[in-house]
Structure 1
Amino acid sequence: MQSLIPYICKLQSVFETVEMENIIDLPQIVVVGSQSTGKSSVIEGIVGRDFLPRGTGIVTRRPLLIHLIHTPLDDHQRQGLKFMLDDWATFGHLPNKNFDNFQEVCDEIQRETNKRVGTQSAISDIPIYLKIYSAKVVNLTMIDLPGITKVPVGEQPPDIEKIIHNMIMKYIQKENSIILAVTPANADFANSESLKLARKVDPNGNRTLCVLTKLDLMDDGTDAKEVLMGNVSPVKLGIIGVVGRSQADINADKTVKECLEKEVNFLNKNYPELAEKNGIPFLTTTLSEGG
């Protein structure tokens, strides 16, 4: 899948310009999880940038299709750019504008969301298309979807659970998609909502990978070793544990890079025999190899 990403991006760009839904199956990683499971931290860890809106309730209110494009420092696309040695981003709805300030990327995601569905809690299935160019990323296409929820709030319709369920199913039922089922380690693994949905369309788990978040927030005296080893509920593509960037980290202005360093230290201390096959860097490598 790695070598196909530039061509996939070109194909999907055609749909960006006219806001059409993709009418062909293209390889993509669909990120699924309940609210507050750490989806945003996983995505930002893979990207290495803080760029996603955060808050309470449903924050992701439109599908966000993220193309990560590995762009070496000597790549011709950097020529003439004022930020030749830095990362930058573009949006499908603003194809001629480059963003090198990732807080502005976050603001634009919110602005474009509000333009379509208002400032309350309504959602839409019309995607926002974002490309991120960096020398530090691997070539991936990810789709961030609204978090699974049970109870409507604000202007949300009473059947919000069904609406989000149908939106998620539309993406994960595609045979070419890899389902990234995000599940918190400090909750009952057997009741994972993301894995329940994944099993509906991928009962054998051939294209499901579970990300076990918040390893550092488990109760004292407990750990996730049995889950990570697949002894509780096996997932064919594997279960990868991560620490992630908590709200406390965000409040303390810790960068994504600092939190990744914290993750390495945590895994080496608490899961020394499993550390090499867990964490955001291992997850990124696994995804770039197509599972």
Structure 2
Amino acid sequence: MTLSDALYNETAIVLHVIPASVDFTTSESMKLSQQYDPEGDRQLIAVSKIDKFDKGIKDKLRGLGPGSMSLRLGCVAVLNRSQDEIDQKISFDEMKKRERDFFKCHKAFEHVPDTYKGK
């Protein structure tokens, strides 16, 4: 099923995977989905590479400010495994712990509600 096919289907939810370092609005999938779901009722953003976040990420996750998208289903930020972590066969449980620690350690995320952070 193509993105445009999914967007025609009113029961489909579109998951956009967008790196934290780019404006969400410039994503090709976001541009296409605006034609079919301009209110953002059926869209969700998984913000990848959160360790490479840009200034203002706290607001972008909440759909506020430049480069963000206000979507009913919102955004969730996730910390990706590095190639070294994959090669070292780091377990998913360990990665979840590293992700939690990452969000606790960075001031940019201290006032971001947990619902916007991966688990």
> TM-score band, normalised by the shorter chain?
0.7 to 0.9
Unaligned ranges ≥5, structure 1: 1-124, 126-166, 282-291
How far residue 204 of structure 1 moved from its aligned partner, in angstroms, is: 0.8
Kept in 2: contact 1:216–1:243 (CA 8 A): yes
Q: Given the superposition, is the C-alpha separation of residues 254 and 226 from structure 1 closer, same or farther in structure 2, using an over 3 Å criterion? A: same
* 3-state SS of 2:73 partner: coil
* 3-state SS of 1:177 partner: coil
TM-score, scaled relative to structure 2:
0.80
Deviations 1:140-169 (A, max 9, x none): xxxxxxxxxxxxxxxxxxxxxxxxxxx222
2:78 is aligned to 242
Instruction: Tell me how far apart the structure 1 counterparts of residues 94 and 30 of structure 2 sit (CA, whole Å).
Output: 30
Indicate yes or no: 2:27 matched with 1:192. Answer: yes
Q: 2:37 aligns with which of 192, 195, 202?
A: 202
How far residue 256 of structure 1 moved from its aligned partner, in angstroms, is: 2.0
Q: Which runs of 4+ in 1 moved over 3 A?
A: none
Unaligned ranges ≥5, structure 2: none
- 1:217 maps to amino acid: K
More helix by share: 2
Indicate yes or no: 2:104 matched with 1:276. Answer: no
How many aligned positions are there? Answer: 114
1:228 is aligned to 61
How far residue 249 of structure 1 moved from its aligned partner, in angstroms, is: 2.1
Written as runs of structure 1 = structure 2, the 5 A alignment for 1:59-78 is none
How far residue 261 of structure 1 moved from its aligned partner, in angstroms, is: 1.1
* Structure with greater Cα Rg: 1
1:37 is aligned to none
Instruction: Tell me how far apart the structure 1 counterparts of residues 88 and 52 of structure 2 sit (CA, whole Å).
Output: 17
> Identity of paired residues, percent?
31
Indicate yes or no: 2:87 matched with 1:254. Answer: no
How far residue 244 of structure 1 moved from its aligned partner, in angstroms, is: 2.4
Q: Given the superposition, is the C-alpha separation of residues 223 and 249 from structure 1 closer, same or farther in structure 2, using an over 3 Å criterion? A: farther
